[in-house]
Amino acid sequence: MTDYNFAYLDEQTKRMIRRAILKGLAIPGYQVPFASREMPMPYGWGTGGVQVSAAVLTPDDTFKVIDQGADDTTNAVSIRRFFQKTAGVKVTEATEEASVIQTRHRIPEQDLRDDQILVYQVPIPEPLRFLEPSEVETRKMHALEEYGLMHVKLYEDISQHGAIATAYAYPVKVEGRYVMDPSPIPKFDNPKLEMAGIQLFGAGREQRIYAIPPYTQVVSLDFDDYPFEASKADHACDLCGAEDSYLDELIVDDEGGRMFMCSDTDYCAGRRKQGHVGAQGVPYAEDAA
């Protein structure tokens, strides 16, 4: 472990990131520019989240990483090992035990406590980017609180599809001021953005950090006659039977067979350990054997 400085980054870089995090917390939802470093992984693989985690971690932390809810995917495993090696922190797959959770595109099903920190990996932090490609213009739009274009986009959804078709990266307004991209989490997760834990967002390639302090008002944009709806697949989990969790759809053969299962693997395993069994599941003990 002594081959690296604690948590990989040098101290001056961490100070720069830490200052950006503090400004982000002071201005909820505002994207603070920061001098993103090259990390030993490609842009787009969570370099923003990794840099924020590196600036936040202490040696006493227990670290968890999820990728689309799963603890055991390549990206999650390699980031977890990265900090195990460079920061010497304990790691876990249990949401309950983690003090810092780095996530790609999901919020854990289990409510976070006030002593937990959620770090998001963000690909495109600017919610207006696909509507207005110029950074100069979008910055001006945020400064003037000019978010009409975003409502036009949602309105066009309704006129074309009969409903707001945006299913992930659903824009939110933070504390009545900044419109923010919650990263590509499913809109099912949007109501959970108002939580007890601290939420930090890091976009490495785009060089932006932003934050939501605990208990901050986060409102998903909508219309009076087309209210926001946190949707999920209309199914129960086939492994654990949960009806309230966000589901992944898995094609299981070439005859149209498919199953739905919890995207949050820790939540699903926890329920199965408690004895819940879904339509296509087997009891947890048998599966492990």
Partner 1 sequence: MQSLALEGGFQNAPTDAAHAFRSIMTAMARPGEISRVDGATPPAPLSVATGVTLLTLCDPDTPVFLGKSVNAQEIIDWITFHTGAPLVEAKDAMFAVGSWQDLTLDDFPIGTAEYPDRSATLIVEVPTLDNTGAILAGPGIKDTSRLTVPDIDAFQTNRQNFPLGLDFIFTCGNRLACLPRSTRVS
Q: Which is nearer to partner 1, 11 or 254 (CB)?
A: 11
Q: Which is nearer to partner 1, 33 or 283 (CB)?
A: 33
**Sign of the CA dihedral running 213, 60, 57, 109:** negative
Q: Which of 146, 158, 214, 241 is the binder for partner 1 (CB under 8 A)?
A: 214
Q: Does 159 bind partner 1 (CB under 8 A)?
A: no
- Answer whether 82's CB lies under 8 Å from 8's CB: yes
Whats the size of the chain, residue-wise? 289
Task: Report 30-69 residues binding partner 1 (CB under 8 A).
Answer: 30, 32-33, 55-60
Per rule CB under 8 A, count of chain residues that contact partner 1: 46
Q: Does 21 bind partner 1 (CB under 8 A)?
A: yes
Q: Which is nearer to partner 1, 20 or 268 (CB)?
A: 20
Q: Which is nearer to partner 1, 141 or 262 (CB)?
A: 141
Q: Does 192 bind partner 1 (CB under 8 A)?
A: no
Q: Which is nearer to partner 1, 88 or 241 (CB)?
A: 88
Q: Does 211 bind partner 1 (CB under 8 A)?
A: yes
Task: Report 131-150 residues binding partner 1 (CB under 8 A).
Answer: 139-140, 142-144
- Answer whether 61's CB lies under 8 Å from 246's CB: no
Q: Which of 215, 249, 251, 287 is the binder for partner 1 (CB under 8 A)?
A: 215
Q: How far is the CB of 123 from partner 1 (least distance, A)?
A: 21
Residue of 172, 112, 117, 121 whose CA lies nearest to 147? 172
Q: Give the distance from CA 240 to its chain's centroid.
A: 23
Residue of 60, 110, 40 whose CA lies nearest to 269? 110
Q: Which two tokens stand for residue 61?
A: 């932390």
Q: Does 180 bind partner 1 (CB under 8 A)?
A: no
Q: Does 73 bind partner 1 (CB under 8 A)?
A: no
What is the distance between the alpha carbons of residues 239 and 266, in angstroms, rounded to a whole number? 12
Q: How far is the CB of 208 from partner 1 (least distance, A)?
A: 11
What is the distance between the alpha carbons of residues 103 and 79, in angstroms, rounded to a whole number? 10
Please list the active-site residues: 29, 237, 240, 262, 268
Q: Which of 180, 193, 212, 261 is the binder for partner 1 (CB under 8 A)?
A: 212
Q: Give the distance from CA 219 to its chain's centroid.
A: 16
Quickly list DSSP for 224-284.
SSS-------SS--TTT--SSS-EEEEE-SSSS-EEEEES-HHHHHHHHHTT---TT---H
Chain residues in the site for partner 1 (CB under 8 A): 5-7, 11-12, 14-16, 18-28, 30, 32-33, 55-60, 114, 139-140, 142-144, 175, 177-178, 196, 198, 211-217
